Amino acid sequence: MSSNAITIPGNQIQSRPWVDELHQWVTTVDHKRLGILYILSALLFLTIGGVEALVIRIQLMHSHNNFVSPEVFNSMFTMHGTTMIFFVAMPVLFGFANYLVPLMIGARDMAFPRLNAFSFWLSFLGGLLLYFSFLGGSGLYGAGSAPDVGWWSYAPLGARAFSPGHSSDYWTLSLLVSGFGSIGTAINIIATIVSLRCPGMKISRMPLLVWMNLVMAGMVLIAITPLSAAQIMLLIDRYLGGHFFDTQAGGSAVLWMHFFWIFGHPEVYVLIIPCFAFMSEIIPVFSRKPIFGYPVMVAATVCIAFVSMSVWAHHMFTIGMNSYANSFFTLTTMAVGVPTGIKIFNWIGTMWGGRIQFKTPMLFSIGFLFQFLVAGLTGIMMAASPFDWQLSLSYFVVAHFHYVIVGGILFALFAAFYYWYPKMTGRMLSERLGKWHFWLFLIGFHLTFDVMHIPGVLGMPRRIYTYEPGRGWDTLNLIISIGAFIQAIAILVFVANLIISYFKGAKAGNDPWDAWTLEWSTSSPPLAYNFATVPTVSSRRPLWDLKHPEDPDSRYE
Amino acid sequence: MSLLRMKSSTLRFFAQTILLLFWSAVAGWTSEPNGSSSHGTNIFAPASTAAKSIADLSVFVLAVTGIIFVVVFALLVYSVVKFRGRAIDASREPAQVYGSTQIELAWTIIPILIVVVLFLATARVIHAIQDAPEPTDAVQVTAIGHQYWWEFRYPKLGIVTANELHIPVTEPGHPTPTFLQLLSADTDHSFWVPELAGKTDLIPNHPNRMWMDPQHTGVFLGQCAQYCGTQHAKMLLRVSVDTREDFAAWVRAQQRPAVQDAGAIAGRRVFEDNACMNCHAVAGTPADGRFGPDLTHLMSRATIAAGAATNTHNNLRLWIQDPSAIKPGSLMPAMKLSDADLDAVVSYMETLR
Amino acid sequence: MSVVTTSFPNTAPGWQLPSRGKVAMAGLIIAESAIFTIFVVAYLFYLGKSLTGPAPREVLETPIFYTICLLSSSLTIHFAAKFLARGIKFAFLGFWLLTIALGGLFLYGTAQEWHRLIYEHGLTISTNLFGTTYYSLVGLHGFHVTAGLVMLLTVAVLGLCGHIGIKQSGHIEALSMYWHFVDAVWVVVFTVVYVLGR
């Protein structure tokens, strides 16, 4: 074994003029920089989407409020949903995948760096296109500006007849464009993982984060494309006189629903599986034990990917499918809960017998476990289709999916931020601000989303700009809105932490968490070429083997 | 132990327990008691067979998921508390355990069994509700969803009305369920009256079917649940469940053509001259428009504009003068009537009992 | 001074992974297959549901000749790739250009058929459900043929200028995977539209 020490004399590192630096960033093909660009653009859209959420919550604070008009409100919930899913969640997860996957497999970059850059800029363009609708969406007197058809744009509401002007076109085009970006990134991730693993890293030795991003990328290929196809059909209807979803010409509104949800359901697994990946890397490190049941975790993930392709019509339980179809989708939806539950048990099994360190990444991970459990269980409730005939399209569903997306995905993302920020910037995030962020966000989250289940059960439908007094929804909505503002404050604390720590944070060094995967073997931040020499590995935790040569993992695998 | 010295883990355990207790209290406090005449919209206050079997299944599912929650939550809390690292452990790593086939099998097989049980319980209810045969003497209603109002037709009884549905209560010995055919004239809608049935969508070119057999009289509330455009929020539902006698009386009243009140001739002329009849129908007059609600018995309804306002003189006047004052985005245009014409037309409307 | 001190063994004997170009092309093909599947599902779903207008059996003529052209082009591109792998540039170019000609012929056939449908039978994309689904599905395929031809032409120009040699063999194989995919899609579209649909 040889030692490769590369010293870079301090006086050769010079600062460049800012225009030059900006040019470097805009033209970069480096996976680490593109990863950071994805994350920064996601944070930008998170702020905008968050403001939209606050507008919604102010309007709904009490019955018969008129903070905004119905037209504006309807645009707000459409833009909020579209922004958060397509321009926050997907980009931030692609950003982390971009940053981490090559490092974790011992590669120097993604398989196709230029495709990587192209995919990012396509995604970003899609976001800009969506927001341009506020300026350019009208096109017709009296027609709305930003899209207001809900993030599903159900037929025939999305047709020319019911959505005049260009607002729906901006919705369609922006998602089509960013969808192509997503497909490009997915292809890149797959090619990278299959073709660029370092010597010794067999498929069965890849970190779980790599495995799960591989599964996620595979799902993107067959889940995003149905939406792209449906949107092409919608454009044909809107501009070429087509009749795909034109019910007056015999077309089917239900067909749009099927196409949309064949995309829509796997999409939520595309969003959650990378978060499972974060948990599978972070929980072991802060429990000081390897992940419990690595092969089962892989199998469960692949199982989820397949089964999740068969559950889509549980979003359509109320549209009048026959009892056999409803029963089938009830069964598959309940079945997909089994591999998902197995993963929760394995994470708890990882913590069991460990020595848990309650640093901020672990706090968010524990929050994730609790909230994902609850969200999964409310999902099982709605899997029972008769129960869903009451709960569907109500605030119970809104509570459920925000529990998954905010309580699950966002918590996992916060954990990932606190865990990998040192690697990306060379500085630690403040633990003190991190704990403030965590507790404030936890309180706000539960205030909002625990309570939100109740109006659903009391008959409050979703997507309504106002509601009647005397239905028992007023006080509940007020509490929900207060929680939203507390979460907003927590996000401000988080952003402050990101900025302050960049300049004043403690220096991180290579491996601040005493972790075991390859990204911690290189500098923080890594140099452009990632590794001085391409490493060779012989187990799932190469750094554990190096730190514990008397008891390497390779002996047990 | 002061709060400041408690470990984060124990603190969160207490926080979560307090949360659980708090939300139970909130849920109890905010659910409304139901009077016998006006009912609420609580899915756990079912008043019909279908709603009741849904509520019963829901309680069963809640119980099962509740048990799962308690067990897994307990394991989570236990592991967080029991296995927290202490400062003295900093240099030693715990035993590195990689997995256990037996445990994996156990927590695979048990969930599969739970899924089988839940599925079987659910499938029975699905079948019972969806495949219920329609008795020959059921009340038949065709509901047609519009942006943003409900059209109700009783084909066997020759009635056309809007927004407020009247159906007979079902008595144990003499069941009279109402079967609805659900259609749409424009976009997707959804008929949701929580205490009477689960919701079913109204989708153009895709007729649907649902049924209700209410076991209590009174007014049941609901609203459109599928986003249908600007005024989706104010497409409200009122279902009046009447005794058999009251229902029969209502049917007879609805079957009569419009009241011909001589004092309202001026208003009727305004109505027929100003294109109102292009959208609205008044039985027994030349007005035969179907784009808007049938007005033949407008004054038999408690609300106007699909529940957006109560049916009072002032509201009616405001609505006709400028619909967007009550329901901005509604498809009824402001007809820009003069005050005199407006008053006349309102008087005419008020004769349509 | 920044120092990287972690040490790793420097050996890497016999570590062979699949070519990234072929893996990426396989990924693209999977994604495109999903898009085509949705259009095929729409076509099949709407068969017989048009409220008006010409029906498939009244107006469609099975394009046997042009189908043979397209499917033979798969054969010719296969030979072209094989010749290039052996370094026989002249034969590679010959078969490559033949592939382009056959693909171009197929597109001409589609154009001819569409001209007949539009001007003789009055079937357009907005006529009825059949028109919408037919032009969309066949058009989507034709679009992919066109995109393929653009890529093939680019390679032809590069080849004629002497830039394509044995080292580019992997790239050419990846591109020919795309062309084979386009042909396979045509087999499906042909079956669905001209065999099942009539």
Q: Do B205 and A252 touch (CB under 8 A)?
A: yes
ipTM: 0.94
Mean pLDDT of A328-352: 97
| pLDDT over threshold 80, residue B10 | no
* Six token digits for residue A457: 């059960």
Q: Do A187 and C1 touch (CB under 8 A)?
A: no
**Confidence (pLDDT) at C11:** 45
Q: Which amino acid is at B51?
A: A
Contacts of A385 in chain B (CB under 8 A): 122, 126
Main-chain phi, psi angles of A78, to 5 degrees: -65, -50
* Six token digits for residue A86: 């397509």
Chain B contacts in chain A segment 523-552 (CB below 8 A): 548, 551
Q: Do A229 and C8 touch (CB under 8 A)?
A: no
Residue in chain C nearest A511 by alpha carbon: C6
B345 located within any domain:
yes
Domain that holds residue B341: 262-350
Whole-angstrom Cα distance, residue A220 to residue A216?
Answer: 6
Domain that holds residue C124: 20-196
Mean pLDDT of A321-332: 98
Tell me whether A121 touches chain B (CB under 8 Å). no
**Confidence (pLDDT) at B91:** 77
| pLDDT over threshold 90, residue A344 | yes
For B159, the enclosing helix (H) or strand (E) is strand B159-162
Shortest CA gap B164–chain A (Å):
17
More confident residue, A535 or B2: A535
Q: Cα torsion at B315, B318, B319, B321 (round to 10°)?
A: 160
| Mutation to test the C interface, candidates A194, A210, A234, most C Cβ within 10 Å | A194
Residue in chain C nearest A180 by alpha carbon: C31
Per-residue DSSP letters for A371-437?
HHHHHHHHHHHHHSHHHHHHHTTBHHHHHHHHIIIIIIIIHHHHHHHHHHHHHHHSBPPPHHHHHHH
| Mutation to test the A interface, candidates C2, C3, C8, C25, most A Cβ within 10 Å | C8
Residue B154, helix vs strand vs coil:
strand
When the pLDDT of each residue in chain A is averaged and rounded to a whole number, the result is 95
**Confidence (pLDDT) at B5:** 41
Query: Whats the size of chain A, residue-wise?
Result: 557
The closest alpha carbon to B331, from B186, B169, B144, B118, belongs to B186
**Confidence (pLDDT) at A554:** 87
- Contact yes or no for A383/A330 (Cβ under 8 A): yes
C11 located within any domain:
no
**Confidence (pLDDT) at B34:** 41
The beta-strand segments (E) located in chain C are: 2-4
Residue in chain B nearest A540 by alpha carbon: B98
Shortest CA gap C36–chain A (Å):
8
CATH code for the domain in which residue C52 is found: 1.20.120.80
**Confidence (pLDDT) at A13:** 55
The domain tally of chain A equals: 1
B269 located within any domain:
yes
Mean pLDDT of B339-351: 96
**Confidence (pLDDT) at B87:** 72
The domain tally of chain C equals: 1
* Six token digits for residue A241: 């006189």
Shortest CA gap A261–chain C (Å):
12
Which among B9, B85, B200 has the least Cβ separation from residue A318? B200
A9 located within any domain:
no
Mean pLDDT of B221-233: 97
C145 located within any domain:
yes
Residue written as tokens 């033979």? C72
Contacts of C5 in chain A (CB under 8 A): 3, 5
- Predicted confidence (pLDDT) per residue in A44-92, tens digit: 999 999 999 999 999 999 999 999 999 999 999 999 999 999 999 999 9
Which among B44, B69, B123 has the least Cβ separation from residue A327? B123
| pLDDT over threshold 60, residue A211 | yes
Long-range pairs for A391-394: beta carbons < 8 A, 24 or more residues apart: A391/A456, A391/A457, A391/B43, A392/A317, A392/A318, A392/B199, A392/B225, A393/A318, A393/A461, A393/A462, A393/B190, A393/B192, A393/B199, A393/B225, A393/B226, A394/A455, A394/A456, A394/A457, A394/A459, A394/A460, A394/A461, A394/A462, A394/B225
Shortest CA gap C104–chain A (Å):
25
Q: Indicate the pLDDT class of residue B196, thresholds 50, 70 and 90.
A: very high
Q: Do A112 and C20 touch (CB under 8 A)?
A: yes
CATH code for the domain in which residue A177 is found: 1.20.210.10
B313 located within any domain:
yes
- Predicted confidence (pLDDT) per residue in B42-73, tens digit: 999 999 999 999 999 999 999 999 999 999 99
Q: Do A186 and C34 touch (CB under 8 A)?
A: no
Q: How many CB pairs under 8 A join A and B?
A: 310
- Contact yes or no for B55/B129 (Cβ under 8 A): no
**Confidence (pLDDT) at A12:** 52
Q: Indicate the pLDDT class of residue A141, thresholds 50, 70 and 90.
A: low
Which among B32, B111, B129 has the least Cβ separation from residue A341? B111
Whole-angstrom Cα distance, residue C70 to residue A254?
Answer: 36
Q: Do A236 and C132 touch (CB under 8 A)?
A: yes
- In degrees, to the nearest 5, what angle opens at C-alpha B277 toward C-alphas B274 and B279? 110
**Confidence (pLDDT) at B15:** 62
Which among A195, A230, A236 has the least Cβ separation from residue C125? A236
The closest alpha carbon to A339, from A307, A384, A371, belongs to A307
Main-chain phi, psi angles of C125, to 5 degrees: -65, -20
B144 located within any domain:
no
Main-chain phi, psi angles of C120, to 5 degrees: -95, -35
Mean pLDDT of B269-294: 94
Any idea which of A274-278, B26-30, B66-70, C182-186 has the lowest mean pLDDT? B26-30
* DSSP 8-state secondary structure symbol assigned to residue C196: I
Chain B contacts in chain A segment 450-469 (CB below 8 A): 450-451, 454, 457-468
- Reading chain C (198 residues) residue by residue, the pLDDT tens digits are 333 344 444 446 678 999 999 999 999 999 999 999 999 999 999 999 999 999 999 999 999 999 999 999 999 999 999 999 999 999 999 999 999 999 999 999 999 999 999 999 999 999 999 999 999 999 999 999 999 999 999 999 999 999 999 999 999 999 999 999 999 999 999 999 999 988
Shortest CA gap C12–chain A (Å):
6
The pTM of this model reads 0.94
Contacts of A384 in chain B (CB under 8 A): 57-58, 61, 118, 121-122
Q: Do C1 and A183 touch (CB under 8 A)?
A: no
- Predicted confidence (pLDDT) per residue in A474-505, tens digit: 999 999 999 999 999 999 999 999 999 999 99
Per-residue DSSP letters for B276-309?
HHHH-B-TTSS-B--SS---TTGGG-SEETTTTE
Q: Which amino acid is at B61?
A: V
B239 located within any domain:
no
Mean pLDDT of A528-557: 92
Q: Do A157 and B188 touch (CB under 8 A)?
A: yes
**Confidence (pLDDT) at C198:** 81
- Predicted confidence (pLDDT) per residue in A509-527, tens digit: 999 999 999 999 999 999 9
Contacts of B79 in chain A (CB under 8 A): 348, 351-352, 356
Which among C9, C19, C30 has the least Cβ separation from residue A195? C19
Give how far Cα C72 sits from Cα of C79, C88, C183, Å. 11, 21, 9
| Mutation to test the C interface, candidates A225, A312, A507, A522, most C Cβ within 10 Å | A225
| pLDDT over threshold 50, residue A2 | no
**Confidence (pLDDT) at A14:** 64
Q: How many CB pairs under 8 A join A and C?
A: 155
Shortest CA gap A456–chain B (Å):
9
Q: Which amino acid is at A168?
A: S
Per-residue DSSP letters for A303-355?
HHHHHGGG-GGGG-TTS---HHHHHHHHHHHHHHHHHHHHHHHHHHHHHTTS-
Domain that holds residue A477: 34-555
The domain tally of chain B equals: 1
CATH code for the domain in which residue B340 is found: 2.60.40.420
Whole-angstrom Cα distance, residue B204 to residue B183?
Answer: 6
C49 located within any domain:
yes
Contacts of A148 in chain B (CB under 8 A): 230
Dmax (CA) for chain B in angstroms is 99
Contacts of B200 in chain A (CB under 8 A): 318, 320, 389
| pLDDT over threshold 60, residue A7 | no
Strands B208-212 and B178-184: antiparallel
| pLDDT over threshold 50, residue B4 | no
B344 located within any domain:
yes
Residue B117, helix vs strand vs coil:
helix
**Confidence (pLDDT) at C3:** 37
Q: At what angle do helices A294-307 and A253-287 cross, to 10 degrees?
A: 170
Contacts of A191 in chain C (CB under 8 A): 20-21, 23-24, 27
